[in-house]
Amino acid sequence: MKNTPNLSTTIGKIRLKNPVMPASGVFAFWEDIAKLIDLSRLGALVTKSLRAKPNPGNPPPRVAEIPAGILASVGIQSIGFDAFIESELPFLRRFNTPIIVSLAGESVEEFVEMAKKLNSVNGVAGIELNLSCPNVKKFGMHFGRDPEMTKEIVSKVRAVTNLTLIAKLTPNVTSIAEIAKAAEEGGADALTLINSPLGMAIDVETWRPKLANITGGMSGPAIRPIGVRAVWESSKAVNIPIIGVGGIASTSDALEYIIAGARAVQVGAANFHNPYVMIEIIEGLQDYLIRKGIDDINKLVGCLITQ
Amino acid sequence: MYRFLAEILSNECVAKEHYKLAFKAPQLAREARAGQFITIRYVSESFDPFLRRPFSIYRVDGDRVEILYKVVGRGTALMSRMRAGEMIDVLGPLGNGFWLKDDVDVVILVGEGVGVATVMHLAQDLYEKRKDIERVAFVGAKSPDLLLGTQDFKRFGVEVEALAGNDDWSYQPALVALLSRRIEGYRRNGKVVAIYACGSNHLLSDVSNIAARYGVPCQVSLYTNMACGIGACLCCVRKFRDATGGIVYKRVCKDGPVFEAKEVVWF
């Protein structure tokens, strides 16, 4: 009988008991998912992006189904940074799982301010900078499309925090590797790839867009190849760990990302399809390692054979 | 709230494009309150269609739970082809149900199209627990063959007013007029009335206006596209008026799907 293979890994200073965590935005509220799955079993908990001030988000309809996925434009509805820290964070602290707080500033200053405030908040392990929301007009993706801007935000936040700093990047660019490099140069400890690719869907009976925001971010299995490609390209360009996200709905999907170069993975829309999916993937990774006779998941990271 | 695999007991076409599906779910049958809902995923390896689909409970019968649905897209089209013995993945009960004050003399149910399902569960609940309350259902549909549930309402001791269009919405003004006259009658007799409605936005907003005019409490069950169904993703919000008259987004899945009609911003 072999020993149980190692699933634990590290992202910056964060020790993860396994490489599986929810993607930011999936759970704005955690109360009901905590009734269905044990959040203590996850590698980390990633919050929905916090805004510096409360924001109502985009008008409905906010979601439409697309082939093997969804198109969504929630627009980062947020109760605001302070209210979240006071009313929602204590719930997440109950679980023996590192908390990664996602931040969505409307300016460089807002990112820096929120990161500073986190220095005096207990129980936060890391910051994920949302440099890439496709659904917020004023800012969002604009930051993450420009290497200089990406580097500036990351470095200014780096200057005020010792928490593990992760930059989440958009695939809606010509070269994601270039942006990944900029984030690394700015001092990021890790990268999360990818945010939602922009998409659009139309109701041909009414001639109206299916979302009130007209365009939205695509998620679900439909986008997985885009994410896997982005992780592979970026992993060759940077030396910091990458968290792969985009269309993961099964163990083999997670493995694709890991083999492409991701040290950890996030699961997004698949939680809506199957709320147990993250637990199933954790168990599936274990089974896979046993079947392959591999004692440590980290040995799989970037093991892609191209010749 | 829990997820389970359930065996389909029957799945029959009850009218053009309308089906009634029954599945075995003892715990859900015992615990679901009228107005709550479930989401269903077809047990398959495919991720297309991707999202779970929300359904009201039509009626429970022992271990059987019944839903009534209309084929409106790919998901429901696939569902309509499922057979007894096949399995579905069910999550529920979800959301808040209807609530009832003790001092009500008359409950008016309004069900339009498949919206009948939502208020049928309440009709069953009242039949089992509050037979002392007078119950009347206003059922509306675009054609006479789509007037669903009228026999089941009667079985649950509910008087039925059924109005159909001629493949159009023409019954709506008639339904609203009839509803008004009925409420005026109850008022003359000093009876306390409450309305519970599920249907199209147009009808619900008209019913809501009538309720406001006569000062009758009115609860509506709303529908939107949903993703998670458990209050997490914020995809299913609709506009509501808060206590100060400001506009707020609320989650239909978790804050509802039943709301006080007066809070809803209809258009």
Cβ-proximal residues to A28 (8 Å cutoff; 6+ apart), any chain: A48, A77, B232, B233, B234
- The pTM of the full predicted model, rounded to 2 decimals, is 0.94
pLDDT per residue over B47-99, tens digit each? 989 999 999 999 999 999 999 999 998 899 999 999 999 999 999 999 999 99
A95: left (phi over 0), alpha (psi -120 to 50) or beta: beta
Closest CA to A166 of A12, A23, A27: A12
- ipTM (interface pTM): 0.92
Domains (ranges, CATH) in chain B? 2-94 (2.40.30.10), 106-221 (3.40.50.80)
For residue A1, the model assigns a pLDDT of 43
CA–CA gap between residue A21 and residue A244 (Å, rounded): 10
Question: Which residues from A are below 8 Å from B232, CB to CB?
Answer: 26-30, 32-33, 271
Average model confidence (pLDDT) across chain A: 94
Alpha-carbon distance A43 to A35, whole Å? 18
Of B49, B225, B254, the CB nearest to A63: B225
The pLDDT value given to residue B221: 98
- Mean pLDDT on B89-111: 95
Look at the block and give the residue holding tokens 């829990």.
Answer: B2
Contact partners, residue A4, CB within 8 Å, separation at least 6: A286
Indicate the pairing of strand A190-193 with strand A242-245.
parallel
Which pLDDT score is estimated for A144?
A: 79
Closest CA of chain B from A285, distance in Å = 18
Which chain B residues touch A64 with a CB distance below 8 Å?
Answer: 225
Domain of A29, in residue numbers:
9-57+76-199+220-300
Q: Is residue A134 part of a domain?
A: yes
Output the six-digit token pair for B126: 């009242």
On whether the CB atoms of residues A151 and A185 are closer than 8 A, the answer is yes
Per CB-CB distance under 8 Å, the chain A contacts of B252 are none
B87: left (phi over 0), alpha (psi -120 to 50) or beta: beta
pLDDT > 70: what percent of chain B?
100
Among A140-149, A250-259, B226-235, the least confident range: A140-149
**Residue A91, domain member (yes or no):** yes
Can you read off the two tokens belonging to residue A95? 């679980």
**So what's the pLDDT on residue B42?**
83
pLDDT tens track for A123-156:
999 999 999 766 555 555 677 788 999 999 999 9
pLDDT level of residue B46 (50, 70, 90 thresholds): confident
CB pair distance less than 8 Å for A59 and B225:
no
Residue B71 contacts by C-beta under 8 Å, 6 or more apart in sequence? B17, B18, B19, B77, B79, B80
What is d(CA A291, CA A288) in angstroms, rounded to the nearest whole number?
Answer: 5
**Quick one: average pLDDT of A214-231?**
97
From the DSSP assignment, how many helices (H) and strands (E) are in chain A? 11, 16
- Cβ atoms < 10 Å from Cβ of A271: 24
Rounded to 5 degrees, what angle do the CA atoms B242, B200, A29 make? 45
pLDDT at A263: 98
Burial pattern B175-205, b for ≥16 Cβ within 10 A else e, equals bbeebbebbeebeeeeeebbbbbbbbeebbb
The reply to whether A2 falls in a domain is no
Average pLDDT over residues A38-48: 97
| Contact (CB<8Å) A33/B232 | yes
At residue B44 the predicted structure's pLDDT band, cuts being 50, 70 and 90, is confident
Integer Cα distance of A20 and A14 in angstroms: 13
A271: closest chain B residue by CA: B228
Contact status, residue A12 vs residue A303, Cβ threshold 8 Å = no
Rg of chain A on CA atoms, in Å: 18
Is B91 within 8 Å of chain A by CB? yes
Q: Is there a domain that residue A291 lies in? A: yes
Per residue in A52-93, pLDDT (tens digit) is 999 999 999 999 999 999 999 999 999 999 999 999 999 999
Please, what is the Cα angle at A254 between B75 and A26, to 5 degrees? Answer: 60
Q: Using an 8 Å CB-CB cutoff, list chain A residues near B235.
A: 62-63, 72, 74
**Interacting residues of B12 by C-beta distance below 8 A, sequence separation 6+:** B19, B20
CB atoms A273 and B3 under 8 Å? no
Pick the catalytic residue: A79, A133, A153, A254? A133
Chain Cα centroid distance, residue A210: 25
Contact B232 A68 (CB under 8 A): no
Is pLDDT above 60 for A98? yes
Residue A52 makes CB contacts below 8 A (sequence gap 6+) with A80, A81, A105, A106, A110, A113, A114
In a domain, A212, yes or no: no
Q: Does B219 have pLDDT greater than 80?
A: yes
Tokens of B197: 């409605």
Active site residue A133: yes
Say how many domains are in chain A: 1
Alpha-carbon gap: B168 to the closest alpha carbon of chain A (Å):
17
pLDDT the model gives residue A141: 63
* Secondary element (H or E) of residue A280: helix A277-292
Average confidence (pLDDT) over B210-219: 96
Rounded CA separation A230/A243 (Å): 11
CATH code of the domain containing A240 = 3.20.20.70
Residue by residue, DSSP assigns B79-109 as: HHT--TT-EEEEEEEESB-----TT-SEEEE
Contact A262, A232 (CB under 8 A): no
**How are beta strands A99-103 and B64-70 bridged, if at all?**
unpaired
φ, ψ for residue A32 (rounded to 5)?
Answer: -80, -35
Neighbouring CB atoms inside 10 A of B221's CB total: 30
Residue A277 banded pLDDT, cuts 50, 70, 90: very high
Angle at A197 between CA A216 and CA A44, to 5 degrees: 100
B50 touches chain A (CB under 8 A): yes
Interface probe for A, chosen from B74, B90, B228 (most Cβ of A below 10 Å), is: B228
**In the prediction, which pLDDT does A133 show?**
67
Which of A26, A36, A62, A271 has the most B C-beta neighbours within 10 Å, making it the best mutation to test the interface with B?
Answer: A62
